[in-house]
Amino acid sequence: MSEVASVPGGKASAGEALPPIQEGVFVGPDAEGTLALIGSGCADCGQMMFPIRARCVKCFGGALNNHRFDRQGRVVTFTVIRQAPPGFFGSVPYALGMVELEAGVQVLTHLVGKPPESWKAGDIVESCGMSLPLDPRAERYGQAFAFRPSSEIQQ
């Protein structure tokens, strides 16, 4: 397992052949740990959605195409989870954030790559891979997505 960095709630992962926790939600991660979310775009009204839908949430049309989202997003808000919810076997505390992608699409996601308390609304982030234990003894891991501080921030 090639571990990029230890992160709260799980481990950053790169280029691993872990089973995805959810099918059809993302592509990647590649060797740098980068990953892209996949959603739907409506051919009739242009609405973007995440995750993939069978019908448009705006016009209810069925002419949807898969859409690969830009990796970069912005933290709208976040909270720090201190007690693991049932079925979550990663470590706590961790930051759970709402990230806005292109076209105003929002996604609820783990925020990784820095201490949970240090996140701020407005932080620029990018999608990445994250491995999470699938059982209490951490004998098996699955591939999930998360967002980390963007490597493309100019400052």
| Binding footprint of Zn ion on the chain (CB under 5 A) | 42, 44-45, 47, 56, 58-59, 61
d(CA 64, CA 98): 24
Q: How far is the CB of 38 from Zn ion (least distance, A)?
A: 18
Closer of 4 and 42 to Zn ion (Cβ): 42
Spatial contact of 111 and 86, defined as CB atoms under 8 Å apart? no
Q: How far is the CB of 23 from Zn ion (least distance, A)?
A: 24
Closer of 32 and 44 to Zn ion (Cβ): 44
d(CA 120, CA 75): 7
103 phi and psi, to 5 degrees? 60, 20
Closer of 53 and 74 to Zn ion (Cβ): 53
Q: Which residues contact 22 (CB under 8 A, 6 or more apart)?
A: 51, 144
Q: How far is the CB of 69 from Zn ion (least distance, A)?
A: 17
CA angle at 6 for the pair 125 and 102, rounded to the nearest 5° = 15
Q: How far is the CB of 58 from Zn ion (least distance, A)?
A: 5
Closer of 62 and 115 to Zn ion (Cβ): 62
